[in-house]
Structure formats: C-alpha cells, structure tokens
Structure 1
C-alpha cells in the first residue's frame, strides 16, 4: 500500500508589536532554547523526543512518507523583518514544489506572527503555501497564544492548538495534528467546522491552565457532548500584538456543521462566563517583596516573584530594573533573580574573573520611560560558557544556549542578592537555569523570575506561593493601560461586547 506523501515544515515567531526591535534572519538561524533553523533530513534526526510540534508530527506520522523541508523559530521580539519572512516562506514553498505531488502538508506555526508587511503572518504563509499546493489537505499546529483570523481558518483543513500553559503538550499537539491529517485523508473531503472569536482580550498573567478559570475553560475538549466531534480547541490569544484579530478564539471540527457550531458555542460560553474572574491583581514591586517577606515568616519554602511584564518569552527585553531596584532598596530578604540579559555586564564579569568585583550601570539599554538605571557593584561568583541542560517538564533534555552567563552577587545589601546574567535573552522557565550555578533553590528565600507563566511547571512545586508583579516592561499585562490602535471594533479590554465574529463552513 502506498504511503501518503506528507510535507512537514515549521516557521514560528510570537511577535510583540510594542517591542521596537525587529526580528531578522540571524535570530532564526541561532539556537537558544530551541534548535537553530534546521533543514531537510536533519529535521528527522533533531526533533524526535523534543517537546516541539514538529517532533509530534514525526512521532505520529510513521505511516506517512514524511518529506521534511524547514523548521525555524526565533525568540519573541518585534516585527519579523521582511527579508526574514520572505526567506523562510520562500524555502518552504520551494520545498513543496520539490516534493510535488504531495498528499498533504503539516505546518508547525505559532499563530501570533506579525511582520513588517502583514498583521497576520500565518495567514500570508498559508496563502503562499496554498498557491503552490492547491486544494490538498493542510493541517496546522498552533501555539496556545495564537491570534487566529477567520481567513486563516478558511485556508486550513484542520488546526490543533496547545491546550496547556505552561506548554507541556507542544509535541502532543503535533501528534493530534498528524492524526487530524490521517482522518482528513481517510474522509476524503473537508470536515465541517465552526470558528468564533472571543470579544475581549486576556493578559497572559491570567492564562495559566493550572489556575482557575483557565483550568476549567481548557478542560474536557475531547469529551464535549456533541455528535460526531472530531476535534475542538481554543486559543487564548497574545494581547501584546496591536492587530485586528488579536484575542482568544475557539474552533471545532465535526461530521456535521450544526454540531461543530454547538461545540464552538460551548467553548465560547466558558470564556464569557469566566470574564469577571479574569482580573487578577498584580502587585507593585514593593508590595510583592513585602508580601513575600511576610510569607517567609510562616514557612521555610521560598516565595516566587514573577516579573511578568519583562518576560523575554513574550517579547520583553529581560533587562528592566524595577524589581532589582526594589530588592536592593528594601533589603528585606535574601533573593535570587534570573535571567537578566546584559551583554556589557557579562563582558565586565568575564574580564574581572571569579572573586573579583566591578561596577556596572544596570538597565542602561532599557527603552522604557520611567525606569531608572541602577549603578551597582557586583562580585563575580561563577562563570559559565556552556549550554545549560534543562530538567523541568516543559524543556527537559533541551540544552539552552544563551551565550556566556554569570552568577553575580550585589555588594552592599545586608541580605545576599544574587543575579544570573546572560548574553542572550531567555525566559527563566526551568530551575536548572539557576541551579546550574550551584544555587540550592530549596533553601532560597525570594526567587525572582523574568517569566509570566512558563516558570510555574518547575518552580511552583518548590514554592509556598507565587506573586505576580507589575514592574514596567514591554510585555503589557495591564491591558487597560495599553494604547491599541488596530483592534477590530468588537473587541473589549475589560467587558465583553454582545457582538461576535462567526465563521462556519460545511
């Protein structure tokens, strides 16, 4: 029996349109937490076993004749450069032509890419892919934070979306996408579908699926009480993107259109019912530190302070000083902070050497009004120039390459304040990124992470409490303070409007 010939490719970027730094080709070509741009047969060697969507394609698609083309991703930042977008779209389309005729295409995309020319990067990718392959089945795996448009849904035969935040199921989403491809090929015609957009935006700080109300919203998708259910999913949206189709959405595939619409209505209802719960308070730097110190009086377990608005995994610069300044000024408890991205600081640390001291102006590259720079004296405790092997559930087995790193101690405060600094931005989502330097986090007091929710998978189990902090940064979590210009009229930042966008097709 002839195996279905399926092309596989990936091109991912989560674009923070409030970050002024463009994302060029070089950012996709280097490795960080994920592999560097990978091409052709190397994809079949690199990705199996990794928690990445295309790895799930490979795992589940053993009965397919897989034709790997390209996979690339870059750390979240500003708009994708025109040259980068055209380069990688061109590679994917050239590969599709090379492997033609094909029976289907599996794409590992993000869903929140914005380029210099396109509000909806993924829609343009699909348009270019369809121009090459025509009407053959195209199935896509998307990130939990995708901003999905009706036009994008119309161009896909099926979409599978991460269901967990932290994203513990990226590879499993790839598996689900490959299974949808198999079902689509067996069926021989498109699924019936329904797509609805949620009429309000939700900050990432409210989106963790281990906490309510998202724990309920994202539960039981495979068990919805509708006949002929094939698949149902929801995307929570990425609100750091000022684009028309920013925001959460739900979609369903069934054997009949009325059932698909029923499933989508159920999921939309969950969002609407939860709206009033989606306003978690964020503490100021001083409030968070003082609350953390109070908690430390009753338990020896550490307290985690999440610097949610300077999350490099959502386009933050990972170098803002608000929390660091407050830690030094209050001087209330020992603290560990990571990961602070500062190339100049690293250069000074390596020039000084372990045991020596140097002065440095922290936050001198930060481009955020109102943030002050902080001059401090640092002691070099440890230096590292090798990738750090992650051990937590989300990134287990992945060697994170963020260039040279250093563990520094701030000289002056009566309480020890340690800072992990790196050459490259990377979200502090795994305990190993701090423990690699000899720190015993179980004995730590305050642990400050530049992350919004991914840290929870590895840090929550060791912490007595997690406090979310609204220190200034380029990743906005107080959406009522954001000046949006391009949102569609049906979207609210605070209260849902009665209107909704509907896309349904048999």
Structure 2
C-alpha cells in the first residue's frame, strides 16, 4: 500500500506598513481535486508532481494565495486554518505532510501565520514528518523551526525556481519516509534588512552567495541549504536574514554549516546596493526627460515605494503629482502611461460612465492617507475592461488625466505586466515613458525598456528603510545600524 502524503499551504507577504487588511476578496484558494489538477509553475505543483512520480498517494488540502498586501483578516485566516486542519483530520492516517508556505505572512491579532499554522498541524500530527518549501523572503521564527522537520527556500530572485523548490521539498519528504534520513535542522539569524531590489541572484553579491550555497549543499550529509532574506516591510521582532541548513542526521553539522553560511552573508553586507539605475523622485523625472530628448525611449520608471507586488497599498499619488507638474513628461505624444492605481471607486465610475465619457472624483489615497493625499481629477475615460483575468478578474480603466494616461484597477493587483496596457488599447513599445508601481522590473516589461530606472518614491515599500517608522525590530540591525558586530546566534 502506497504511503499517504498531504499537500497544501498558504502564501503571502504581509506589509505591516500597509493599512489595507487583506481579506476574502483579495485571496484566492484552490481546494481538493482542483489543487491536484492544478498544473502551475509554483512549489506546490512541483511537490505534487514529484510525489506522484514516486508512487505516493497525494491527499490535497488547500493552497491560499494573495498579491502581497497588508496583514490578513483574522476571521478569514481562522476559517481557512480550520478548513486546512479539518482536511488533515479527515485524511488521517497520514505518513507525512509536504507543504508550500511563504514564511512572511502576518495575521491580525496573531502575528506570524506560518508558526501558528504549523503549531496547530503538529498537534494533530505529532509523530509524522512535516517538510515545507519557503519563499526566499521568508522570516524564520522559532515556532516554525519547532514544528517542521525541514525547510528549503527558493534560490532564485526573481523566483524562477519555485517548481524545482517544491520538488526539493518532496524529495526530502520521500527520503524521510524511505528511512534514508533522520533530519536535523539549524538556523542562524543574521541582523540585516535587505530588499529584493538589492538582492537579485543574477548579480553580486547574491550571485556568489548562491553559488556558495549550492556548493555547500553538495557536501556529504547536507540535504538543503537556504538563505531566507526576510521581508523588510514588516515591522516585526524576528525580521532579518536567516541561514538555514538541513542535514541527514547530524545536528552539529547543521549547526556549524548554518553558522558558516551566516558568517559568509554577514561579511558581504556592505556589498549590497541598487544595481539598477536609481534616483530620487525628482531626479528620475529629470533623467527621463533628458533620455526622451536624446531619442532613448521607452523609458520605464519603477515607482518603487508603492509597489503592490511587494505589499504596498497601490494608491500613493505623490509621484504622479510630480509628473503632472513636469512640463516634459506631462506633455508627451503618445502620453506617459502610469500603471496603475488601486481605486475601486474611480474604476467603478469609469466603467459606469463608459468609454469616451468624462468623470470627476478624487484619485488615490483611499487607504494610505499618511503618505499621500487624494488627487482631484477630471478625466476622460479612454478604455474600460471589466473582470480582466490577467489580474484576478479585476476591473480596469484607462483615464486621461491632464496629459497622462493613468491605469486604475478595481482590486489590489500587481502592475508588472505590459499586457495590462495592451488590453486597454495602448502599445507600450510606442510609449516614450512608462511608470509602473513596481520594484525591480519583471522580464516582460524589462524587454520593452530602452532605459529603466528605479525611483525612490514614497509608500509602504519605501526602499530607504530609515524613512519607515519601525518600532518592533530587534536592534541593532543593518543598515539602520552600522557600527556593530553580529552575534550570528542559532535560533533555538
């Protein structure tokens, strides 16, 4: 009789500076057979495929995901958690669980979700192996370590190896069930805050750090090595980078290797920086204008401080106001395209009015009223697209606002895909300037840009951490604090 392994998990990056509460309308869930039938490039799909190939009976629970946003609504989380635990109880007896977790999900009144969920799972399954993949930006906690046999994180940023990481987690599960390992795990906390825009794995120092990680993973007795970078836009005590190691059966090897990896990362702390062209907001606008005058376009600017794919509110208007006051970028032909603002009220007005009509209202700052203020607009509706599947069925509208084309969305969505512009009737390749609420550029939009730059704009994903009101971080932590030596202690 084949062994029975349950799969499932929850995935979210929760920005504690974002006032939006991530609720039922923001979260999509795959359950049961739909989860088994799902053929994605994500970690849970990799785990399912590997377990099936190895001849195991795979029992599906649920996988819940949302675009990075504010912390989760407690009631909805508790309902999903109980559904998840109920599926485990129903599936018993089980031989193992192979999960897909993010590692930086937060819940109202609870705090870390993964530790809370794993603790409850372990109460139901006190003896069987539990393994999980993690996002590279996981924030590792003692509760997570105490209630899981082993973790493995993504090794690529952008995350192009999610499927492979799911396979890795499944292989660890299989090895444990076949009696080939009695896992020992160790994790070292490294007091560093680091953003994704400084830690792409195709450039230094992450390129060399990940090469070292993979080389150490080939040593005898090592099952997995991970650098888990934490999530800098969460004001939580445990934040920072983690070096995590899983061995076959040797705790000392796990401890020593985690400390070795921690020391290596700490020694490279001054090597991290913005490797893309980076400017303060006003300077980015000036440089974009200079580039256009020189015939170098499209210019793509990242509104990095209000990046919804990193958890910001997607409604900060400060950079748009600067553009509207600029004599060059506000008067381009074709117009500058700004993608995009989460404003369900303005989007609904546009859809109700229809293409070719004029609407009036207040754009933006529906959620983040501390960072910016609403922008009064009288706008021509150039196009509307209800329920666009490319953005979780969000309504879209394209507005002409004082010489600038502004995309508005009815839901909190990622703004990285140039297809969003295309469905609204624009040809992004013909635009002289595009602004996206994004951090580092995704490949699809990068391919369009003749010049790209990251603007250090305002919002709850501000890239200059000293501009954020941290209260709960354990100090000292780099780069907020500079002159200290890290203890690089094990999380125990």
Query: 1:195, 1:251 within 8 Å by CA — same for their partners in 2?
Result: yes
* 1:79 matched residue in structure 2: 71
**In structure 2, how many angstroms separate the alpha carbons of the residues matched to 1:109 and 1:65?**
21
Query: 1:193, 1:254 within 8 Å by CA — same for their partners in 2?
Result: yes
**In structure 1, how many angstroms separate the alpha carbons of the residues matched to 2:338 and 2:207?**
28
Q: CA deviation at 1:189?
A: 4.7
Please say which of residues 265-274 and 339-348 is displaced more in the overlay.
265-274
Q: CA deviation at 1:429?
A: 2.0
From the superposition, tell whether residues 164 and 297 of structure 1 become closer, same or farther in structure 2 (CA, over 3 Å). Answer: farther
TM-score (norm 2): 0.91
Q: Equivalent residues in 2 for 1:360-371 (5 A)?
A: 360-369=361-370, 371=372
Please say which of residues 301-310 and 461-470 is displaced more in the overlay.
461-470
**Local SS of the residue matching 1:283:** strand
Q: CA deviation at 1:8?
A: 0.7
Residue 483 in 1 paired to residue 469 in 2?
yes
**In structure 2, how many angstroms separate the alpha carbons of the residues matched to 1:81 and 1:315?**
15
Residue 193 in 1 paired to residue 185 in 2?
yes
* 1:151 matched residue in structure 2: 143
**In structure 2, how many angstroms separate the alpha carbons of the residues matched to 1:203 and 1:440?**
31
Residue 238 in 1 paired to residue 234 in 2?
no
Q: CA deviation at 1:65?
A: 0.3
Q: CA deviation at 1:258?
A: 4.2
Q: CA deviation at 1:270?
A: 3.8
* 2:161 matched residue in structure 1: 169
Query: 1:368, 1:473 within 8 Å by CA — same for their partners in 2?
Result: no
Q: Equivalent residues in 2 for 1:340-355 (5 A)?
A: 340-355=341-356
**In structure 2, how many angstroms separate the alpha carbons of the residues matched to 1:207 and 1:166?**
9
Query: 2:46, 2:166 within 8 Å by CA — same for their partners in 1?
Result: yes
**In structure 1, how many angstroms separate the alpha carbons of the residues matched to 2:56 and 2:35?**
15
Query: 1:203, 1:478 within 8 Å by CA — same for their partners in 2?
Result: no
Q: CA deviation at 1:402?
A: 4.0
**In structure 1, how many angstroms separate the alpha carbons of the residues matched to 2:264 and 2:432?**
38
* 1:332 matched residue in structure 2: 328
**In structure 2, how many angstroms separate the alpha carbons of the residues matched to 1:156 and 1:375?**
51
Structure 1, unaligned stretches of length 5 or more?
Answer: 29-35, 389-398
**In structure 2, how many angstroms separate the alpha carbons of the residues matched to 1:444 and 1:478?**
29
From the superposition, tell whether residues 422 and 370 of structure 1 become closer, same or farther in structure 2 (CA, over 3 Å). Answer: closer
Q: Deviations over 1:54-84 (max 9, x none)?
A: 1112221212100001111233333323222
Q: Equivalent residues in 2 for 1:185-224 (5 A)?
A: 185-187=177-179, 189-219=181-211, 221-224=213-216
2:36 to 37, 44, 58: 44
From the superposition, tell whether residues 426 and 292 of structure 1 become closer, same or farther in structure 2 (CA, over 3 Å). Answer: same
Query: 1:54, 1:108 within 8 Å by CA — same for their partners in 2?
Result: yes
* 2:12 matched residue in structure 1: 13
* 1:439 matched residue in structure 2: 426
Q: Deviations over 1:385-411 (max 9, x none)?
A: 1424xxxxxxxxxx4324221122224
1:273 to 244, 267, 286: 267
Query: 2:391, 2:414 within 8 Å by CA — same for their partners in 1?
Result: no
From the superposition, tell whether residues 490 and 261 of structure 1 become closer, same or farther in structure 2 (CA, over 3 Å). Answer: farther
Please say which of residues 375-384 and 252-261 is displaced more in the overlay.
252-261
* 1:393 matched residue in structure 2: none
Q: CA deviation at 1:13?
A: 2.4
Please say which of residues 421-430 and 166-175 is displaced more in the overlay.
166-175
Residue 260 in 1 paired to residue 254 in 2?
yes
* 2:442 matched residue in structure 1: 456
From the superposition, tell whether residues 239 and 360 of structure 1 become closer, same or farther in structure 2 (CA, over 3 Å). Answer: same
Q: CA deviation at 1:121?
A: 1.5
* 2:457 matched residue in structure 1: 471
Query: 1:144, 1:161 within 8 Å by CA — same for their partners in 2?
Result: yes
* 1:497 matched residue in structure 2: 485
Q: CA deviation at 1:220?
A: 5.1
Q: CA deviation at 1:357?
A: 2.3
**In structure 2, how many angstroms separate the alpha carbons of the residues matched to 1:372 and 1:157?**
48
CA RMSD of aligned residues (A): 2.3
* 1:384 matched residue in structure 2: 385
From the superposition, tell whether residues 409 and 210 of structure 1 become closer, same or farther in structure 2 (CA, over 3 Å). Answer: farther
